A and B are shown apart, each in its own frame.
Chain A
Amino acid sequence: MTLATLIALPFAGGLLCWLTARYSVAACRWIALLALGIGLAWTLAYWNHGSGPDGWILEEKISWIPSLGIHFQLSLDGLSLLLIALTFFLGLLSVLISWHSIHERVGFFHFNLLWILAGTVGVFLATDLFLFFFFWEMMVLPMFLLIGIWGHANRNYAAVKFFLFTQASGLLLLVAIVGLAFAHQQQTGQLTFDYNQLLGSQLQPLAEFWLMLGFFIAFAVKLPAFPFHTWLADAHSEAPTAGSVILAGILLKTGGYGLLRFVLPLFPDASETIAPYAVLMGVIGILYGALLAFAQTDLKRLIAYTSVSHMGFILLGVFAWNEVSQQGTVIQMIAHGLSTGALFILAGFIYERIHTRDLDQMGGFRTLAPRLAAFALFFAMASLGLPGTGNFIGEFLILLGTFREHMVLTTLAATGLVAAAVYSLWIVQKVFHGKPGKTQSLPDLNRMETLILTLLLLGLVGLGLYPRPVLDVAAGPLEALRTPVYVTAVETALKEDAP
């Protein structure tokens, strides 16, 4: 199986889902499960696969638009492998949670779901910038439909807002990509969108800065970083559960991935210039997101703002630009995907039972549904970064690595942990503690729901107590990304000269 089929799998699966749903809804769901399951299994099989001399585990390159130097070029390394595994895993869970909650236009729903995932996998694999942009845009439209069709009451507003934000930032990305390719052409006489070749571009400082900014803003919107976060709360709270899970768990990670993969390696000098500001944005995001979370009365909106807070750490970790902080970033991305995904799933379970997201309608659920409450307690603890969960490893390593570079800002960021305790415990208090009030009966989790949450719990505890497999897989790619290309080039040249 090639990398292209890894993308084709959810693509084709999605189409097939749409077609079969007319005849059998169950078949449609099973096809989606199967496609994602195969994808996950395939990804995991490459976990311990060694990488080639240039650092990629697998590479594929087919000429696409030769006159413009555009290739269908995919490459897999440890970093993309981790995020693709996360994508398929959360995708599988999304299909499972939609099993009993989505009844309208089931085929089209799964089509959109799988196409989002296909686009995301493409984003994580593409090493031709044009192709990357193609997949980047491909994620957006099905997500727009997912929110707009299966969302809650205010879904149209949220969907359009989401679409406009990502489109506008996508335009910046496109301009920056084309600009980069032209700048490279001016220098070398060759028009190419190949990531590996563009890496070595020697740019004018001013040009480098503006091109970097185009990439940076596009990724910062997706992350989302303060002040570009405002689309997130609406999109998250109005999306159906599966949509929220995929948004929080996976789509946000494409922003972090983009920063790691493109912004710093392509524009090392300009990134260094902007680093203190990016870290500042991160710190503001951490504290501002938390402040917004305190005040919410809509459960999903509250969780959405905690994402803003948690994603602030990503900016810190990426721009501190050292091994400790970047390993922390990778762990944080995965852990946030699992823990916030889980919180949205819990919110979805509660919504299915009482048909509201209003915190004031909740309370005392621990008495009514003890198992649900126990899981919620755990995921709230993960969200506040309790040691023993992956979130702690992520935040701890990020802060540890960033502290050397930015002492004051890191200290401020660390106070975000107090804020995280306040909002996480507030969720537990409002929803689960106290006496049952307006809601007097609430069925506890069924087997399937328990299974879903158990998987997420095991993932977080595993990541928290034994993160080594992840750290080992990410180590090589991160080091390669940190090493400026001209250094590598000089080293290779020296090696060739040596004998």
Chain B
Amino acid sequence: MYDLLWLIPALPFVGFLILTLAARSLSQRVAAVIACGTVGVSAVLTLGMIAGFLWNPPADYAHTVTLWQWMPLNSLEIAFNLRIDALSLVMASVITVVGFLIHLYSSEYMQGDEAYTRFFAYLNLFVGFMLILVMADNFALLLLGWEGVGLCSYLLIGFWYQKPENGFAARKAFVVTRIGDVSLLVAVFLIFSELGTLQLSEVLALAPDRWAEGSTTAWVVSLLLLGGAVGKSAQLPLQTWLPDAMAGPTPVSALIHAATMVTAGVYLIARMHGIFELSPSAMTVVALVGTVTLLTAGCAALVQSDIKRVLAYSTISQLGYMFLALGVGAWAGALFHFMTHAWFKALLFLAAGSVIAALHHEQNIHRMGGLRKRLPVLFWTFVAGAACLAALPLVTSGFYSKEKILWDVWISPLGGPWFWSAAILGALITALYSTRLIMLVFFGEAKTEVSHRPGKRSSFVLIVLAVWSLIGGGIEVPHNFGHLTLLSNFLETAIPASVELPPGLDLQLWILLLVASAIVTGGVLATVWLYGSGSPLRQKISDRTSGLQRFWLGGWGFDTAYDRLLVQPIVWLSQINRRDGVDGLCRVAVSLGRTGHFLLSTTQQGRLRRYAIGISAGALALLILMLLQ
């Protein structure tokens, strides 16, 4: 049965090919069926594989299938190898299941768009590449998936290509992530020149033997891999592309820029955990990147006025939590948060998409309001998503996953109280902006007429995601209430799942849990009071556009800085050198030739007088010379 695993990525590719080649002859309905069907079957297959792993696991809890020899050289064999283990399967299940739901949602959402088939072709292509990325067994194949999803991200951000700003956002996303890709590529080269292989499992097996703990090579490799990860996962300092990526259709933001592609960096680090563990200082860098990102992006989310940009910054911030978890060695915690975040952020984006569609494509939250009564399904599902995002205690999956990260950060030798405090501060900020979003969009007075209501398929998808976001946290429950660790147990077959738990910390755990819950709940209640009561403080906040607010609105000035420091100098250099300075040498040679030609040809004008003068002058000169000698 496991030999069929190649079908999981292959089916979406087949869907892509059909949709591309037969684009003109397919009706929208058929196109949607093909697109959803292929991803749906992949999802079923993935879940089947997971079930298989639970009841009848393969040897070593992994299965590899070699499809064909890709680059067979004497000194290096690269095959088209797909491998599944617990980590790949967890990723693949989210990609296919959430991917399927988003496909289903889009089949209704995108109705009426001229390029309906093209949209689904790209979406299928994306799912295929994403599955290759998480199932690749060597770096070359991983790069195929890695760059492939980048391409799809580019295509889908710029989906409405007639607007130049969409094209700009798409190119920005591709180029900025490609900077990270180069870092990843160099990491791959370094790994190959040190270990002589590109096979992921071999790299992980060889690395501890070749590199001592704390060795410089391991440190460099880890940081280069991190460079790749921050590009894809929109972490500092390469986070600037994600807010602009919201130019794409909203289901794309849900699938690519929230649930799946942006977590590729998390996957990469989790997959390469063996290398990161060899370099504790690199792990700390990962944790620092995560912490700084989650705080800065959280602050930026507080002041945004575009509903999608709020969610985009919140995605960056939540990815920051995952990086923080990776940095302290809480591998399972990072993946747990990846799963819950995929559900509730997909839910939030899809719900936001329906809100936008309901309001004549209005994206400014200050012009929304009062939608609670008029769009009840959207209201309740959005609230469910926002509650998960804010990590409201007990009833949301986000609570369990964030709690796990906080707890692991606290006890891990690489973490500690400082990281924990920053993460708690981040949790408070998250609670503030999630609640602000709810209050502005769904409460208060209505400012824009509702023109369109979500259809049956959209509502179905939203409800499924909402229910699952609320109860899905049950797969991993802290050890002081219930101690259920389904996910960690499953992941433990592939990666070291959790931070070692020192005994006798129950009391601490309870205290931390209560503190975190109190802070989050307090943040939510404060925001509800602030926006619900019409208090003068609120007026003060929304009226005053302080420098700090503007600074945060622009995402901490990163765009401006990069533009001034990098983009403009390069553009300037390329403009002044437009005619190619080196070619200047040729032009000089040409003009020298021309001048020489001109000078000499003036002596050959055919005028007898001049010749006579020339001859006499020459003769005279010769005579003088002879006389002087």
Contacts and interface: CB of A to CB of B under 8 A. Distances in A.
A295 B586 contact: no
B623 interface: no
Contact of A295 (B73, B80, B575, B585): B575
Contact of A466 (B68, B158, B186): B68
Given A295-B578, A404-B193, A433-B164, A386 B74 contact: no
Contacts of A161: 586
A386 B181 CA distance: 11
B190 A403 contact: yes
Of A381, A418, A479, most buried by chain B (CB within 10 Å of CB) is A418
Interface in B161-187: 161-164, 167, 170-171, 174-175, 178-179, 181-182, 185-186
8 contacts: A291-B577, A324-B75, A364-B162, A386-B147, A386-B148, A387-B143, A397-B73, A425-B170
A294 B582 CA distance: 16
B162 A295 contact: no
Given A291-B573, A291-B577, A414 B185 contact: yes
B501 interface: no
B116 interface: no
A412 to B, nearest CB: 10
Given A367-B162, A418-B178, A434-B164, A425 B171 contact: yes
B580 A417 contact: no
Nearest to B171: A425
B27 interface: no
A60 interface: no
Nearest to B114: A367
B432 to A, nearest CB: 37
B561 interface: no
A397 B76 CA distance: 10
A292 B581 CA distance: 10
Nearest to B587: A230
Contacts of A226: 582
Interface string A361-376: 0001011000000000
Contacts of A411: 186
A403 B164 contact: no
B571 interface: yes
B71 A471 contact: yes
A414 B586 contact: no
B69 interface: yes
Which 7 pairs, one residue from A and one from B, show the smallest C-beta to C-beta distance?
A403-B189, A387-B144, A295-B578, A230-B583, A433-B161, A295-B574, A294-B574
A399 B178 contact: no
B154 A425 contact: yes
B192 interface: yes
Contacts of B72: 468, 471-472
A422 interface: yes
Contacts of B236: none
Interface of A: 161, 226-227, 229-230, 233, 291-292, 294-296, 322-324, 327, 364, 366-367, 381, 386-388, 392-393, 396-397, 399-400, 403-404, 407, 410-411, 414-415, 417-418, 421-422, 425-426, 429, 432-435, 465-468, 471-472, 475, 479
B151 A421 contact: no
A324 B175 contact: no
B574 A291 contact: yes
A399 B161 contact: no
B31 interface: no
A444 B207 CA distance: 54
Given A291-B574, A433-B162, A396 B140 contact: yes
Nearest to A396: B140
A433 B158 contact: yes
Interface residue range, chain B:
35 or more
B579 to A, nearest CB: 9
A417 B181 contact: yes
Contacts of A322: 75
A381 B174 CA distance: 11
A292 B162 contact: no
Given A291-B574, A327-B73, A387-B148, 20 more contacts: A161-B586, A233-B583, A291-B570, A291-B577, A295-B575, A323-B75, A324-B76, A386-B148, A386-B151, A411-B186, A417-B178, A417-B182, A425-B175, A429-B167, A429-B171, A433-B162, A434-B163, A434-B167, A468-B70, A471-B71
B58 to A, nearest CB: 27
A161 B590 CA distance: 10
B574 A418 contact: no
A404 B190 CA distance: 8
A392 B74 CA distance: 19
Nearest to A363: B164
A465 B170 CA distance: 26
Contacts of A417: 178, 181-182, 185
Contacts of A323: 73-76
A472 B171 CA distance: 37
A21 B76 CA distance: 52
Contacts of A397: 71, 73
Contacts of A434: 161-164, 167
Nearest to A374: B20
Interface string B78-108: 0010000000000000000000000000000
A290 to B, nearest CB: 9
A386 B150 CA distance: 10
B75 A410 contact: no
B560 to A, nearest CB: 20
Contacts of B70: 465-468
A450 B192 CA distance: 41
A327 B583 CA distance: 32
Nearest to A290: B574
Given A400-B192, A421-B175, A433-B167, A393 B574 contact: no
A396 B68 contact: no
Interface in B13-40: none
Contacts of B580: 230, 233, 292
Given A294-B571, A415-B182, A410 B582 contact: no
A435 B147 contact: no
Interface string B182-218: 1001101110110000000000000000000000000
Contacts of A230: 580, 582-583, 585-586
Contacts of A396: 140, 143, 185
Contacts of A295: 574-575, 577-578
Contacts of A433: 158, 161-162, 164, 167
Nearest to B224: A411
Contact of A435 (B140, B162, B582): B162
Contacts of A392: 143-144, 147
A407 B174 CA distance: 25
Nearest to B576: A295
A407 B575 CA distance: 30
Contacts of A227: 582
Given A227-B582, A425-B154, A433-B158, A400 B147 contact: no
Contacts of B188: 400
A373 to B, nearest CB: 9
A296 B574 CA distance: 9
B73 A471 contact: yes
A188 to B, nearest CB: 34
Given A415-B182, A418-B179, A393 B171 contact: no
A396 B571 CA distance: 27
B283 to A, nearest CB: 24
Contacts of A296: 578
A143 to B, nearest CB: 19
Contacts of B76: 323-324, 400
Of B174, B575, B580, most buried by chain A (CB within 10 Å of CB) is B580
A295 B570 CA distance: 10
A292 B158 contact: no
B185 A388 contact: no
Interface in B552-585: 570-571, 573-575, 577-578, 580, 582-583, 585
B73 A292 contact: no
A388 B570 CA distance: 30
